[in-house]
Amino acid sequence: MGQMRKTGKGAVSALNHESGVDLASAALNFELTAGGSLPEQIVLLPAGENITGRDGRSWRNGSAQQVVEYLEQRGCDLVLDFEHATELKAPQGEQAPAAAWLNGFALQDGQVVAKVERWTPAGEKAVSQGEYRYISPVILYNKNTMEIKGISSVGLTNRPNLHVPALNQQQPTTEVNMLKKLLAKLGLPEDATEEQALSAIATLKDDLAAASNAQQPPDLNKFVPRADFDQLQARAANAEQKLATAASEQLEGAINQQIDEALKGGKIAPASKDFYAAMCRTQDGLEQFKQFVATAPVIAGASGLDGKNPDTDNKTALNAEQQRIAQMFGNTAEDIAKYTKEA
């Protein structure tokens, strides 16, 4: 029967929520037996109440039996895939083929072990020919207590603490030390939760804002009371409206003057007055109209009636036919004009 030996552990993955417990996941790494033989049994978790990862973090394995029960309650075989494809690729709709299927979960000398039910051709080839040497169980743990609750899948890998999104990402020791120093500055213990740290930071920000507001009155060069600001806005809007009205009235006066001059000069017909007035109200329309009138020919000459008296100055001679008829009735041209006026 093939055996496996432990070589390393992994890091935190995505959060899982099961039975109201806030869980996270991480991948641990174990080396397959040298020689490339196919193991019939795999160690999923080593013995001991504490498991320490390469990046310095630790998990509590206080109840290995609880892990076994979690696996048994799943009601199906546990997949052994390639490079944690079940956790990373399957959620994206990509293929996640199995290398083997595991069941028969049990405790053996404090270790959580699983029986290899069967290897797939791809998995058998990968292990027997030495293409893969390590396995990496993805553990589920309570992120507040760091206690291991179960295992969600197992992956073949050649890189302990794989640098892949949200899984098997080794956390540098310098980052761990930095977090410890930050927690100390916040007055929190090293095992403080993320929520406690964020709450402490939020409290500091609120206290700082309150202190700043109390000690520093607003700069009147940068801020004004809201009532004054609203009044200034209203005055500015009123002034703009008055200017717009005055400009509109001035424009209308100029348009009427130009239209009247064009009518008197015979450059446009009276029937076209409204059309040209509308054209003048467009942008640059008045200037364009002035240029048009300056070069347009006279289309309506003077009638010659200005200053004329219709009773005395608007007399015309009778034509030959009118004169013949008037003579037949003994009427003069003056009689015809008189009678026509009275009629």
Residue 133 has pLDDT above 90, yes or no: no
Cα separation, 17 vs 138, in Å, equals 15
Which of 26-35, 123-132, 244-253, 264-273 shows the lowest mean pLDDT across its residues?
26-35
Confidence category of residue 102, pLDDT binned at 50, 70, 90: very high
Mean pLDDT along residues 16-38: 54
Give yes or no for residue 138 having a pLDDT over 90.
Answer: no
For residue 20, pLDDT beyond 50: no
Instruction: Determine the pLDDT at residue 78.
Output: 94
pLDDT cut 90: percent of the chain above it: 13
User: What is the arithmetic mean of pLDDT over 239-266?
Assistant: 85
- Alpha carbon 53 to its chain's center: 39
Q: What is the mean pLDDT of residues 197-203?
A: 87
Strand partners, 306: none
pLDDT for the residue numbered 104: 94
Round to whole Å and give the CA distance between 258 and 279.
Answer: 12
Which pTM value belongs to this model? 0.42
Instruction: Look at the block and give the residue holding tokens 């997949």.
Output: 79
| 154 close to 61: Cβ distance less than 8 angstroms | no
3-state secondary structure the chain: CCCEEEEECCCEEEEEEECCEEEEEEECEEEECCCCCCCCEEEEECCCCEEECCCCCEEECCCHHHHHHHHHHCCCCEEEEECCHHHHCHHHCCCCCEEEEEEEEEEECCEEEEEEEEECHHHHHHHHCCCCCEEEEEEEEECCCCEEEEEEEEEEECCCCCCECCECCCCCHHHHHHHHHHHHHCCCCCCCCHHHHHHHHHHHHHHHHHHHHHHCCCCCCCCCCHHHHHHHHHHHHHHHHHHHHHHHHHHHHHHHHHHHHHHHCCCCCHHHHHHHHHHHCCCCHHHHHHHHHHHCCCCCCCCCCCCCCCCCCCCCCCCHHHHHHHHHCCCCHHHHHHHHHHC
pLDDT band at 16 (very low <50, low <70, confident <90, very high): very low
pLDDT at 342 over 60: no
161 and 170 Cβ atoms separated by less than 8 Å: yes
Q: What pLDDT does 24 receive?
A: 61
For residue 165, name the pLDDT band (cuts at 50, 70, 90).
very low
Residue 87 contacts residue 130 (beta carbons within 8 Å): no
Q: Is the pLDDT of residue 22 over 70?
A: no
Number of C-beta neighbours around residue 103 at 10 A = 15
Average pLDDT of the chain?
Answer: 75
Higher-pLDDT residue of 35 and 102 is 102
Residue predicted with more confidence, 255 or 20: 255
Is pLDDT above 60 for 10?
A: no
> Which of 80 and 206 is assigned the larger pLDDT?
80
> 85 versus 58: which is more confidently predicted?
85
